[in-house]
Structure 1
Amino acid sequence: MADFSTAYRIVHGNEGGYAKILGDKGGETYMGIARNSHPNWTGWRIIDAVKATRHMYWNEYIDNAELKQMVVNFYRATWNQMLGDGIRSQPVANLYYDFYTNSGGATTVLQRVLVYQFRQKITVDGAPGPQTLAAINAVDGASLHNALKAARIAYVQDLVRRDPSMGQFLDTWLRRIRQFPDQEKKSSVSSSPSVASRLGSSISNMLRGKLRNPFSNSPDETATA
């Protein structure tokens, strides 16, 4: 089964320290934790105490053991929400976890991939649960990883299309996604066309307006920088 520490190291490397970027819908952030999305996170108490005494710099890390543990606890709770311990494929868990911590629509996109590309009979409700977990583990991990990666790219591109002000973050989002290497499928399924290739073709048509994009963003599905 997937390991939290492995996935967390990737997310930790992608998230900086303190930031307050104009145009970021997440608002003030610390190590990827957005204040607008998580206003009641206990770590803000320590951060606000530091801000009361001096200016905080961009990407600054606060050397405070309690705060560091609060960050780890936050990300462990997030991992638990998406049932990460139950995912068999570590690459799938790594990609899904990074998506889940960075974007509000991660589970919806994953469920749509499972339904539209892998014919899994689950409800697309945006909520991780036993049925979604079973569907994740029922399909080839490499194929699912590659399909989810392609769908995540389509998701952020669609987000910028809908809200051009978010375009300032697109290159960063794409670099973050593309750090996950494509996975090779098992030889037993390699004779069939790549799911990722077929998905990429479909997404290309969707983004040109030829098909409805099942990976587009609903109003509550937004990414944070």
Structure 2
Amino acid sequence: MANAKLLQPFILRWEGGFVNDPLDRGGATNKGITIGTFRQFYGKDATVEQLKNITDEQWLHIFKSGYWNPWKADEIVNQSIANIVVDWAWASGPGTSIKQVQGVLEVVADGIVGPKTLAAINSADQRTLFADIHAARLKFVENIVRRDPTQARFLKGWKNRINDIKFEA
């Protein structure tokens, strides 16, 4: 079964520290946690300063509760599949990533990981499923830029990150 601790260093390596890029829709972000997400977990009055000083425990709580657990990733057999779907959730939100992957799996795209979604993930040929999710994710970020060309400056980085997730049996 997949292990959240194996994905954490990947996310932290790609996210870095505090940024507040005016063209980034997420706004103020630290270690990949946007101010909006931080406020969902720590109250609507949480400040950018508090986000700048996020603790490892707060980060881990958000990662597990907000991204790993909605995917029920502890129940995904292949670590590489868990990595690519949870990282997609991290980048685009759990509901979006779950629906996108459910589309790849050809199960009802309800945004909820239940027994049918998990069974479809775990019974699929893992290498093929990884490749299909990888391709869908690349197409997804390309479509973001197609809809909103101001996001083009992020495309290369998004693709590099996606391509950095490798399949391991």
The normalised TM-score by structure 1 is: 0.67
Provide the residue aligned with 1:123 in structure 2: 108
Larger Rg: 1
Superposition deviation, residue 35 in structure 1: 1.8
Superposition deviation, residue 46 in structure 1: 7.1
Structure 2 contact 39–46 (Cα < 8 Å) conserved:
no
Amino acid at match of 1:48: E
1:74 aligns with 2:29: no
1:163 aligns with 2:145: no
Q: Which runs of 5+ in 1 are unaligned?
A: 51-60, 116-121, 185-225
Superposition deviation, residue 134 in structure 1: 1.4
Q: Which runs of 5+ in 2 are unaligned?
A: none
In the TM superposition, 1:91-130 aligns within 5 A as: 91-104=80-93, 105-115=96-106, 122-130=107-115
Structure 1 contact 153–174 (Cα < 8 Å) conserved:
yes
Superposition deviation, residue 49 in structure 1: 5.2
Superposition deviation, residue 47 in structure 1: 4.9
Q: 1:83 to 1:146 in 2, by over 3 A?
A: same
2: CA distance between counterparts of 1:46 and 1:35? Answer: 8
1:153 counterpart (130, 138, 153): 138
SS at match of 1:40: helix
Superposition deviation, residue 133 in structure 1: 1.1
Say which structure, 1 or 2, has more relative contact order (CA 8 Å, 6+ apart): 1
Regions of 4+ moved over 6 Å: none
Higher helix share goes to which structure? 2
SS at match of 1:36: helix
Greater CA drift, 157-166 or 7-16: 7-16
* Aligned-pair Cα RMSD in Å: 2.2
* Percentage of pairs with the same residue: 31
The normalised TM-score by structure 2 is: 0.88
